[in-house]
Structure 1
Amino acid sequence: MTIGPVDSSAVPRFAGPATFARLPRLDQVARADVAVVGVPFDSGVSYRPGARFAPAAVREAARLLRPYHPGLDVSPFDAVQVADAGDIACNPFHIGEAIETVQEQAGALLDTGAKLVTLGGDHTIALPLLRAVAQRYGPVALLHFDAHLDTWDTYFGEPYTHGTPFRRAVEEGLLDTSALSHVGTRGPLYGRADLDEDTRLGFGIVTAADVMRRGVDEVAQALRERVGDRPLYVSVDIDVLDPAHAPGTGTPEAGGLTSRELLEILRGLAGCDLVSADVVEVAPAYDHADITSIAASHVAYDLVSLLALKGKP
């Protein structure tokens, strides 16, 4: 018997503590099949800061989420036990120490048998999350939804930033290089060498323009074929969305996906062996009417629903 969200017919959605989707805290359940955990860290950003405030903002936006997902025909909070695991508190002044903390505490949650949906924070946190996941599943397939490649080598000589996690992940053997893809990339680069290096690392690319021209069904099918039956990690940088749909982010780029396109592609991954996921780079200070936080809450809900569909008896 699972414990689900607070009953909104008894307690208004705007009342009470803000856990994700008004779900129970991890300490209120015997165990969790899916744990939603925040990482309020943004010391790895290269432009606008503020993603440290995202886990709280996304939880607030998630108050309106309801317990049945018609697009996937699943009631995720009935199918599996989902709980809010609170935040991983990490050092905002030392990126290396923060990475170690995230890896250790994410690993402890995974050791309980839970799958993770992590609310960032900036994209630096994807590296320790992938380290923790790979320790338990071996090298994983990766679908990376982002305006940017995030496979740069260093910024100002620093190897650990929000623009470098997936280069480090390939170098460390965390990823199955036969099953990697960026989705939604766009915008100017430093040079052609950026793309050549990305290809050398093993990534395929589905640009935002490809999504527009090919359509979500064809893109989702291609991604499913690339991933196959490998354990899959999904990383969603909210700036994959056009600034019209996600203005509250640190490095916005024109010409992005709509929220509808992103959600439909994610739903097209039903049946894949999803093992954990993250949603990062929401920066509430630049948001308007909670547009970005609302989008991120729905992305996280879809990821939880995919994990629930996979774990449904």
Structure 2
Amino acid sequence: MDKKIALQGILYDEKSSFLRGTAKAPPQIRAAYHSSSANYFAENGLEADPSVFEDKGDFKPTDYFEIERITASNLEGKQQIISLGGDHSVTYPVLKAIHSVYGQVEILHIDAHGDLYDSFDGDPHSHACPFARIMEDELASRLVQIGIRTLNTHQREQAAKYGVEITEMKDFDLHRLPLFTSPVYLSVDIDALDPAFAPGVSHQEPGGLSTRDLLHIIQAVQVPILGADIVEYNPDRDSNKRTAMVCAKIFREILSAMISNRS
């Protein structure tokens, strides 16, 4: 893989519950990434500057499944891709496009929520449902979730049904992270972080990961990362663009991991 990493912004929050606003996130994450208050270097010393990716721009889908077509176009064959959301519903159509190129992948999903509902508020494509659809369609051979702290009975049943490997936040241990031996897709929901670190989310769930915990998880991935997303940042709920800067930091570390782990 010697192509540049593709970057796309998905201006979409039509599947959100409780609050809208995540469609505004991609431009804010880009602005934080380019902020002169920081630099482009990742913590491993790699300069994750704009030369390492091809920015395809932001896209406002006219319908939900257009996200798959947009992603397929931006993949341009076997190319790594990072998507900036948007609500978490975007992960399902993005994965459909990834699957069309790579086949089944393993997924590392970092989130406060399992997003495994069969249907939520009558919508099987709600942002609370993407991983049920992904596993139902057999787009992934393995789903590993870290940071979960909102499981109800239905989602526990769904996790058992699909064989999801869950590290709930109450059991989280940095020294016992899951290992991967095959290429992965990385999905980062910013509400995985405790609201003290990232207040700019629609669903603030206390008791979460620190920013350092999240960076450590990303840095511990030693296999190729075929694609990734950063979702559920809501600028309307942010404080002094603090969460935007966290997203930009995560973006740099994902870029670095994508480059460093290429096979």
TM range (shorter): over 0.9
Residue in 2 that maps onto 1:19:
none
The residue type equivalent to 2:225 in the other structure is: L
Q: Which residue of 2 aligns with 1:289?
A: 240
Counterpart of 1:74 in structure 2 is: 46
1:281 corresponds to which letter in structure 2?
A: E
Give the SS at the match of 2:197.
coil
Rg larger in structure: 1
| Deviation at residue 253 of structure 1 after TM alignment | 0.5
Q: Is residue 144 of structure 1 aligned with residue 109 of structure 2? A: yes
Aligned with 1:36: secondary structure? strand
* Alignment correspondent of 1:26: none
Deviation, 1:77, is 4.2
Q: 2: CA distance between counterparts of 1:167 and 1:192?
A: 15
Shift in CA distance, 292/68, structure 1 to aligned 2, threshold 3 Å? closer
How far apart are residue 194 of structure 1 and its match?
2.1
Specify the code of the residue in structure 1 equivalent to 2:5. Answer: V
Determine the C-alpha separation between the residues in 2 that align with 1:145 and 1:306: 16
1:81, 1:297 → 2: CA distance?
Answer: 15
Q: Percent identity?
A: 29
1:166 aligns with 2:127: no
Residue identity matched to 1:249 = V
* Selected match of 1:124 from 84, 89, 101: 89
1:257 aligns with 2:209: yes
| Shift in alpha-carbon separation, 1:41–1:171, aligned structure 2, 3 A | same
Q: RMSD value over aligned CA atoms?
A: 1.8
8 Å Cα contact 1:239/1:246 also seen in 2: yes
Give a deviation string over 1:41-87, Cα, whole Å, max 9, x none.
Answer: 00101111100100011111112352332x32323449x73122101
Q: Which amino acid aligns with 1:88?
A: F
Contact 1:217 1:268 in 2 (8 A): no
1:33 alignment partner AA: K
Contact 2:117–2:154 at 8 Å: present in 1 too? no
Instruction: Give the unaligned 5+ runs of structure 1.
Output: 1-30, 92-96
CA shift in 2, pair 1:254/1:173, >3 Å: same
Q: Please report the TM-score for the alignment, with normalisation by the length of structure 2.
A: 0.93
State the AA in 2 paired with 1:231: P
Match for residue 70 of structure 2 among 102, 105, 111: 105
In structure 2, the residue matched to 1:218 is 176
2: CA distance between counterparts of 1:283 and 1:254? 17
